[in-house]
Amino acid sequence: MGKVAIIGCGAAGVFCGANLRSSRPDLGITVFEAGKKPLAKVALTGGGRCNLTNSFEGITSVRQAYPRGDRLMKRALKEFGPEDTCRWFRERGVGLVLQDDHRWFPASQDAMEIVHTLFDGLKGAAIRTSSKVRSVLPERRILLEDGSVESFDRIVVTAGGGRDFSFLAPLDLEIVPPVPSLFTLGTDSPVRTLAGTSAEGTVSLAGTPFKASGDILITDWGFSGPAVLALSSYAARHLASTGYRSTLIVNWLGCTEEDAREKILEIKESNPSKKLSSVHPLPSRLWEFLLEKCRQNPDMRWGQIGQVTVNRLVSRLVSDDYPVTGKGRFKEEFVTCGGVDLGEINPGTMESKKHPGIYFAGEVLDIDAITGGFNLQAAWTTGWLVARAVASSI
């Protein structure tokens, strides 16, 4: 009987194991998990609701969703994409719902349904919890914490992200240094007094090409919301290199300067006797804050303002700057940017080029995505590719 070791009982490991169990029930699978509970992280995903994938609607290029690993994912998603994920879970009795923001969730809104379904698929495999693999060794061997060495016909590494890749050191693989991705941005600006206010616009970092659009949420710490989280993903490595200090440029309307000017002139022309504070293109508190930043009296009438004031307002609306003073947490999701360099693996099978018989899937690889279900999709897709490759190789 062929012996397969899976290192890490998370999303990628269990999905790979479940697919292997159904295609090759004859194989002996052992899953090593450092923690006490399998699938502990999946239980927390999506704030306990598990945003298991995304319809990819509105995603114009794979790179927009996957700042790292886009080329591999573009190819891999054709083999096992979001429709395949939905079918996989539906075939196992999980009802799914698609939200307006293109994110898929279980209809039960309960991540534990996903956990149980995955775990059911793994039935028949040996699961060894509290079994940390100290090192993966060449020749398809693993060194356990108690000093014992075990040999396998195939090894699948699905140990997730994080900072410590030293357990892979004996394989002498290129590791892209890990840094966090998907975080909120801190600021010491008084904009924080507007916590809870949101607007749909564009955020960028001064002097860089990094830019993202969508909802921008002001918090008591700084900035959050899908646009800011996507920006943190695109600029993860850059921000790590600056110690999370930068200048955030907010375009509160998400439009060009000309369009913003047109909007302001239209308000001015249609409301000459109204106060600046009573007719505006943004939520009231935010607009009043911006008026103050422009040193503009909110009681002034729209008809009273001249060209200079129009220019000042337009420029503040499309290019409002804030100091970034640190990185905050996003409690619903965070991932690692970095991991095993994709040049080390065969993209069709996820097998190590240097070490035949050793495979990688999930966040341990240098693949990560913006928020919205794309990270779990990467775990399902790469886990599925490994299962197919292993099943056909022994």
Ligand X SMILES: Cc1cc2nc3c(=O)[nH]c(=O)nc-3n(C[C@H](O)[C@H](O)[C@H](O)COP(=O)(O)OP(=O)(O)OC[C@H]3O[C@@H](n4cnc5c(N)ncnc54)[C@H](O)[C@@H]3O)c2cc1C
Asked if 236 is part of the footprint of ligand X (rule: CB under 6 A), the reply reads no
Compute the distance between CA of residue 106 and CA of residue 50 in angstroms, rounded to an integer: 7
Report if residue 267 touches ligand X, rule: CB under 6 A.
no
Contact between 223 and ligand X per CB under 6 A? no
Site string for ligand X, 22-51 (x = CB under 6 A): ----------xxxx----xxx-xxx---xx
Binding segment for ligand X among 156-164, 200-208, 226-234, 304-312 (CB under 6 A)?
156-164
Residues in the chain: 394
Scan residues 324-353 and list those touching ligand X (CB under 6 A). 332-335
Whole-number Å distance between alpha carbons of 213 and 259: 16
Applying CB under 6 A, among 4, 5, 6, 10 the residue interacting with ligand X is 10
Residue 16 engages ligand X in binding (rule: CB under 6 A): no
Q: Which is nearer to ligand X, 8 or 357 (CB)?
A: 8
CA distances from residue 301 to 71, 179, 260, 273, 282 in whole angstroms, order as listed: 54, 50, 19, 6, 17
User: Rule CB under 6 A: is residue 160 a binding residue for ligand X?
Assistant: yes
Is 150 a binding residue for ligand X by CB under 6 A? The answer is: no
Range in contact with ligand X (rule: CB under 6 A) among 4-12, 303-311, 313-321, 348-356 = 4-12
Dist CA 279 CA 352 (whole Å): 61
- Residue 89 makes contact with ligand X by CB under 6 A: no
Determine, following the binding rule CB under 6 A, whether residue 363 of this chain makes contact with ligand X: yes
d(C-alpha 338, C-alpha 197), whole Å: 33
* Residue 373, C-beta contacts closer than 8 angstroms, at least 6 positions apart: 46, 51, 52, 53, 54, 82, 103, 104
CB of 285 to ligand X, least distance (A): 30
CB of 23 to ligand X, least distance (A): 19
Residues 304-320, buried b or exposed e (16+ Cβ, 10 A)?
A: ebeeebeebbbebbbeb
* Alpha-carbon distance values, 322 to 192, 218, 221, 236 (Å): 11, 12, 13, 18
For 213, phi then psi, to 5°, come to -120, 155
Can you tell me the distance from the alpha carbon of 34 to that of 341, in angstroms, rounded to the nearest whole number?
23
Cβ atoms of residues 69 and 365 within 8 Å: yes
Q: Give the binding range for ligand X (CB under 6 A) out of 77-85, 247-255, 316-324, 356-364.
A: 356-364
Query: Which residue's C-beta sits nearest to ligand X?
Result: 10
User: What residues numbered 44-83 form the site for ligand X, per CB under 6 A?
Assistant: 44-46, 50-51
Q: Does 180 bind ligand X (CB under 6 A)?
A: no
Provide the binding-site residues for ligand X, judged by CB under 6 A: 7-13, 32-35, 40-42, 44-46, 50-51, 132-133, 158-160, 167, 332-335, 362-364, 373-376, 379
